[in-house]
Amino acid sequence: MTPPLPMVDQLTLYFDGSCPLCLAEMEYLKSRDQRSLLCFEDITRTQFVAAEHGIDCERAMQSIVGKLSNGTQMQGVAVFAAAYERVGLHRLAWLLSRKTLQKPLGFMYLQFAKHRHLISKCLGPLALKLSRVVTGTKGQL
């Protein structure tokens, strides 16, 4: 008999849905979320009210924000490490959570986040198309 999986807090990802690269990543994560441990909130939707979620929308636009079901918030690379762990990408999660890599990865991610719309103009449509082919989705976030 297989032992039960340990209880893991659900993670809500607050992301920029106007960024094709961000959207591709969220769709990919959703396609792998077999245990329903992730929730997705596009902070660019007109119906999104940051105060109802207890997050700072300006902060979330600067760098992805995640919030565990227990209320704990995280930002940047730590969000991706937590999300990847929840969808079974354990090696990638392990790599992103190494203390020795936190500063360089954090710096690189902040540079990406700052310029994501410019980068997305070049790479976003292709990334989104590839993501949808790989996941078999049509953008159901």
CA-CA-CA-CA dihedral for 21, 22, 24, 29, to nearest 10: 140
The answer on pLDDT for 139 being more than 80 is no
Residue with the bigger pLDDT between 34 and 2: it is 34
Compute the average pLDDT of residues 73-85: 96
Q: What is the pLDDT of residues 85-124, one digit of tens each?
A: 999 999 999 999 999 999 999 999 999 999 998 998 888 7
- pTM exceeds 0.75: yes
Reported in sequence order, the residue ranges of 23-138 that DSSP labels E, i.e. its strands, are 38-42, 65-68, 73-75
Residue 7 has pLDDT above 70, yes or no: no
Structure confidence at residue 125 as a pLDDT band (50, 70, 90)? confident
Domain map of the chain by residue range?
11-133
Angle at which helices 116-135 and 102-114 pack, to 10 degrees? 100
Q: What is the pLDDT of residues 28-65, one digit of tens each?
A: 999 999 999 999 999 999 999 988 999 988 888 999 99
Residue type present at position 39:
C
Distance (Å, whole) CA 107 – CA 135? 29
> 139: phi > 0 → left, psi -120 to 50 → alpha, else beta; which?
left
Q: Are β-strands 65-68 and 38-42 bridged in parallel, bridged antiparallel, or unpaired?
A: unpaired
